[in-house]
A and B are shown apart, each in its own frame.
Chain A
Amino acid sequence: MAYPNSYHYTREHEWLQVEGAIGTVGITDYAQNSLGDIVFVDAPKVGDAVEAGKVFGSVESVKAVSDLYSPVSGTVTAVNQELDTAPEKINTEPHQAWIIKVQLSKPAEVDALLSSADYEKFISEEEAKQ
């Protein structure tokens, strides 16, 4: 699956799409693939603060839990409630099935994230290690 050029990525396998001052966060195809069938998403509430590089929630498969790390700092403005009843959307459409939207408090943090090319290089190195 292609990694959209317009997104930014973390080494913890989250993606970030920025539109104005709002960042939309999800997990990458690589992440969903290594987790397997996702059964539950634990997301924060609207109004909660998130911090770049810090855990803001988790995704669960049947026998694994993976923490979610926020790519940016800010305040949660929306949570994707569709994932409450259909967490499998993350498996089928990882780059569309967003988890939270964040009002960015430090937009400059985006510059530190990986481009799609950098991220693809990063995951091919990860795969080579295994």
Chain B
Amino acid sequence: MRYLPKSPTDRATMLEQIGVGSIDDLFRSIPAEYRLTGDLKIPPQMGEQEIVSLFHAAADRNANGYASFLGAGAYRHYRPVVIDALVQRGEFLTSYTPYQAEISQGTLQAIFEFQTMICELTGMEIANASMYDGSTGAAESVMMAARVTRRSHMVVASTVHPEYREVLRTYAQHQGLSKQRVGYGPDGRIDMQALEAAITDKTACVLIQSPNFFGVIEDVAAIAELAHAKGALLIVSIAEALSLGIVRPPSEADIVSLEAQSFGVAISYGGPYCGVLACKEKFIRQMPGRLTGATVDQQGRRGFVLTLSTREQHIRREKATSNICTNQALVALMTCIYLTIYGKAGMRELAEQNLAKAHYAAQTLGATPGSKLLFANSPRFNEFVLDTTEAPDVLNARLLQQKMIGGLPLAHWYPELRNASLWCATEQNSRAQIDAAAAVLAGKEAPALVYV
């Protein structure tokens, strides 16, 4: 086996040193009736070339060469090649959690930089070293708010990503947390009247998403005012992190739960992504996840360590703030590199391009016969909801024939939006793609798209 660095002679010498006759002697503690005597029924050992071929074949059965208008929690953005060049360095890729600070300064400093950038982007005072993803991050934020406020009722906007809400339900059901759902108004934003009525002095937190699942940007300041008036915390979940390049940061929130996949992380059929929690500093003791802090060594030189670990499971066990251990460190590093590449100026420029592409797509598709742009006058980032006379599934089938993947039908989660679908346009969508999709919507023959 090519990954194993031993010759038969090595093995024999080592068995002799141990003082046993055969390798099976070392497995004697396993009762004989449970020891396997034959091979596992899995495919036979393959050479590297066979493995690469097998995965190439799998990749070829997926959607290759399609123009896509999908978003909904997983966003198509260009990934600069520098990211993979750097994260594939063995010193990042094959190191463990940086518990031994003296030989982990590289990872630790990068996390410290990541935490700083997340604070700058979100308007929060502190950020952790990552969570699994945006959905579990939102759920952990709610549990955190319940600990901070010692209350057990949550108010959740129906425009939070439906899968995030499903995850929240799974987490909350055994924490004794009750939930009230608040719907959206004709502008696609949270229904402020219903929200005000839903928040009581028993409410631990209000959870919203902005831009919300429809791509509409919420009025965070106004929502925060309603929450804070009753002593509840406001949690803002952000699924499309790139929006922060041009959308006001949710500084009035108490906790921000960010999914940072947009920052240079491959879509990769849904993961691994990079959740991260940021919050006001006063809540630090209730925050889950690892934190890196700056300090000095014995000679007074700057360095970094994992800190405030007494919140975590390996010390506090059943009283920990969360059971999270392994997080998404390497993905956090990808996002850190991405933010460094685009930086202060590029993040804005890129976000502006997304805004422009989505605006053009929304106007162009919304103007086709039988189509209507919903929530047309609300501020949006790069997603929009299109209502069509034709059923979205039928429409999407026609688009697929032209090698285009249309918007995500919404009726499954929002029965009232029977013929609506959620579209996303990023810097990856060319004007030609948008025009071609519009032609198909209009029932015309789409101009041939050239894929180089």
Considering the complex, give the chain B residue whose CB is closest to the CB of A67: B319
Residue ranges of B at the interface with A (Cβ–Cβ < 8 Å): 285, 309-310, 315-316, 319
Contact B285–A64 (Cβ < 8 Å): no
Considering the complex, give the chain B residue whose CB is closest to the CB of A61: B310
Residues of the B chain whose Cβ atoms lie less than 8 Å from the Cβ of A61: 310
Contact A65–B285 (Cβ < 8 Å): no
A60 to B315, CA, bound (A): 10
Q: Given known contacts A62-B310, A64-B310, A65-B315, what 10 new A-B pairs fall within 8 Å (CB)?
A: A39-B310, A40-B285, A40-B310, A42-B285, A60-B310, A62-B309, A63-B309, A63-B310, A65-B310, A65-B319
Residues of the B chain whose Cβ atoms lie less than 8 Å from the Cβ of A63: 309-310, 315
Residues of the A chain whose Cβ atoms lie less than 8 Å from the Cβ of B309: 62-63
Specify which of A40, A42, A64 is in contact with B315 (CB 8 Å cutoff). A64
A16 to B67, CA, bound (A): 73
A119 to B25, CA, bound (A): 53
- 17 pairs, CB–CB < 8 Å, chain A vs chain B: A39-B310, A40-B285, A40-B310, A42-B285, A60-B310, A61-B310, A62-B309, A62-B310, A63-B309, A63-B310, A63-B315, A64-B310, A64-B315, A65-B310, A65-B315, A65-B316, A65-B319
Considering the complex, give the chain A residue whose CB is closest to the CB of B314: A63
Closest CB in chain B relative to A76 CB, distance in Å = 16
A42 to B315, CA, bound (A): 16
Considering the complex, give the chain A residue whose CB is closest to the CB of B319: A65
Residues of the A chain whose Cβ atoms lie less than 8 Å from the Cβ of B316: 65
Considering the complex, give the chain A residue whose CB is closest to the CB of B307: A62
Residues of the A chain whose Cβ atoms lie less than 8 Å from the Cβ of B315: 63-65
A109 to B196, CA, bound (A): 48
Query: B309, B310, B315, B319: which has the most chain A beta carbons within 10 Å?
Result: B310
A92 to B67, CA, bound (A): 67
A62 to B319, CA, bound (A): 16
Residues of the B chain whose Cβ atoms lie less than 8 Å from the Cβ of A42: 285
Residues of the A chain whose Cβ atoms lie less than 8 Å from the Cβ of B319: 65
Closest CB in chain A relative to B57 CB, distance in Å = 50
Chain A stretch 48-88: residues in CB contact (< 8 A) with chain B: 60-65
A60 to B321, CA, bound (A): 15
A56 to B218, CA, bound (A): 41
Which 8 A-B residue pairs are closest in the complex by CB-CB distance?
Answer: A60-B310, A65-B310, A65-B316, A65-B315, A63-B315, A64-B315, A63-B309, A42-B285
Considering the complex, give the chain A residue whose CB is closest to the CB of B316: A65
Considering the complex, give the chain B residue whose CB is closest to the CB of A66: B310
Considering the complex, give the chain B residue whose CB is closest to the CB of A42: B285
A60 to B319, CA, bound (A): 13
A102 to B285, CA, bound (A): 25
Chain A stretch 17-38: residues in CB contact (< 8 A) with chain B: none
A39 to B307, CA, bound (A): 11
A18 to B316, CA, bound (A): 32
Residues of the A chain whose Cβ atoms lie less than 8 Å from the Cβ of B310: 39-40, 60-65
A64 to B285, CA, bound (A): 14
Query: A39, A40, A65: which has the most chain B beta carbons within 10 Å?
Result: A65
Residues of the B chain whose Cβ atoms lie less than 8 Å from the Cβ of A64: 310, 315
Closest CB in chain A relative to B293 CB, distance in Å = 11
Closest CB in chain A relative to B130 CB, distance in Å = 22
Closest CB in chain A relative to B264 CB, distance in Å = 34
Closest CB in chain A relative to B110 CB, distance in Å = 22
Considering the complex, give the chain A residue whose CB is closest to the CB of B309: A63
Closest CB in chain A relative to B288 CB, distance in Å = 15
A63 to B310, CA, bound (A): 6
A62 to B291, CA, bound (A): 13
Closest CB in chain B relative to A34 CB, distance in Å = 15
A63 to B316, CA, bound (A): 9
Closest CB in chain A relative to B410 CB, distance in Å = 46
Residues of the B chain whose Cβ atoms lie less than 8 Å from the Cβ of A60: 310
Closest CB in chain B relative to A62 CB, distance in Å = 8
Residues of the A chain whose Cβ atoms lie less than 8 Å from the Cβ of B285: 40, 42
A65 to B320, CA, bound (A): 11
Closest CB in chain B relative to A84 CB, distance in Å = 11
Closest CB in chain A relative to B294 CB, distance in Å = 15
A62 to B285, CA, bound (A): 13
A40 to B315, CA, bound (A): 14
Closest CB in chain A relative to B310 CB, distance in Å = 4
A47 to B174, CA, bound (A): 30
Residues of the B chain whose Cβ atoms lie less than 8 Å from the Cβ of A40: 285, 310
